Structure 1
Amino acid sequence: MALMSKRMGPVICLLIMVMDIVAGILGIEAQVAQNKERNMRVWIFECREPSEAAYKLGLAACILLAIAHIIANVLGGCVCISSTEEYTRSSPNKQIAAASLIFSWIILFIAFSLLVLGTVSNSRSRQTCGFSHKHLFVIGGILCFVHGLFLVAYYVGASAARAEDDHIFKQQRPAGPFPLPV
């Protein structure tokens, strides 16, 4: 089992990064499609027609971002740290995993919100008039790239912390006439 996880680690990291990069590119392409639509601007207010292409690209970016986050969290496992004392006593791998997990959730919340806002504003049923929201897709797309970096850092840190815990557990296992199975 451990050998398989060592072999699959780089594949999982690559999968996470590719999904986040594609989500980021789709977000930026949604912005390009949105900018092609007709709009009227007066000072800081803007009225524009929705873009079906921007809607589809934004929706695809949201879905890929969410799937990448779910994959990293499920396969990375749980890095449980309940207090600052436990955090300071933890191994550097566990600290990196915990910090990366927190930052990945924050970035996910911001990027997903921006992508959803851009996608909803391009829904067919609405023509929006209001404050200019020109860069929602671009900022959300760029944050997808950053999100991928933090997810890979989380997955690597969590995997290394789990391997350290397994190694410590094997060393502390009692040796007797009936050793515990591995």
Structure 2
Amino acid sequence: MASKALGLLVCALILALDIVAGILGIKAEAEQDKEKHLRLWLFECKEPSHEAFMLGAAAIGILVIAHLVANLLGGCSVCATDEIKNASTRKQIAIAFLAFTWIIFAVGLGTLVIGTMANRKSRASCGMSHHNFLSIGGIASFVHGAFALGYYVTATMAT
């Protein structure tokens, strides 16, 4: 009974962290859009937003924590390709969730970093447009939560 309660707590923690990271990414995009900017095709001149930078940095940190929690507490121990081929169906599904979790994490983290770095104080210049990167990273955080939850559940069921 205690293990079920702990499992539910971990699932809630993973989902909460990813949801918070997603909301922060979307709020950072909204703060970035409040700044004045001049856009010409792919090039953009704009003032950086300190609030967008701080919200983006927080979203990055929380997404990393959510990913670490899911991966460290999931505990899937199959790493070699021979072990994957001989693993049970549940372990193979857990490995598929793990792979998707890493891919979505990389996309979400990358877009959040690009969007956040575009709002550094030293970036008050013209350059390539970094529009919507923060909101894409926020949405990727929501998707990461779904796959991380799927990974945690299937990995713990397989053990």
TM-score, shorter chain, exceeding 0.5: yes
1:87 and 2:84 matched? yes
Match of residue 152, structure 2, among 152, 155, 164? 155
TM-score for both structures, normalised by structure 1: 0.83
Q: What stretches of structure 1 of length at least 5 have no aligned partner?
A: 163-182
**1:44 aligned partner:** 42
For 1:157 and 1:6, how far apart are their aligned partners in 2? 14
- Kindly provide the CA deviation profile for residues 50-109 of structure 1, in whole angstroms up to 9, marking residues without a partner as x: 0000001000100000000111111111331411x5434322211111011111111111
* Identical aligned residues as a percent: 50
How many residues align? The count is 159
Could you say which residue in structure 2 is the equivalent of 1:101?
98
Give unmatched runs, 5+ long, in structure 2. none
> How much has 1:110 moved relative to structure 2?
1.0
Higher RCO, 1 vs 2 (CA within 8 Å, ≥6 residues apart)? 2
Equivalent position of 2:59 in the other structure: 61
CA distance in 2, matches of 1:91, 1:54: 45
Is the contact made by 1:121 and 1:128 (CA closer than 8 Å) also made in structure 2?
no
Tell me the TM-score normalised to structure 2 length.
0.94
Paired residues for 1:1-150 under 5 Å = 3-83=1-81, 86-150=83-147
Q: Name the SS for the 1:125 alignment partner.
A: helix
Larger radius of gyration: 1
Tell me the distance in 2 between the aligned counterparts of 1:128 and 1:134. 15
Please give the root-mean-square deviation of Cα atoms over the aligned residues, in Å: 1.3
SS state of the match for residue 109, structure 1? helix
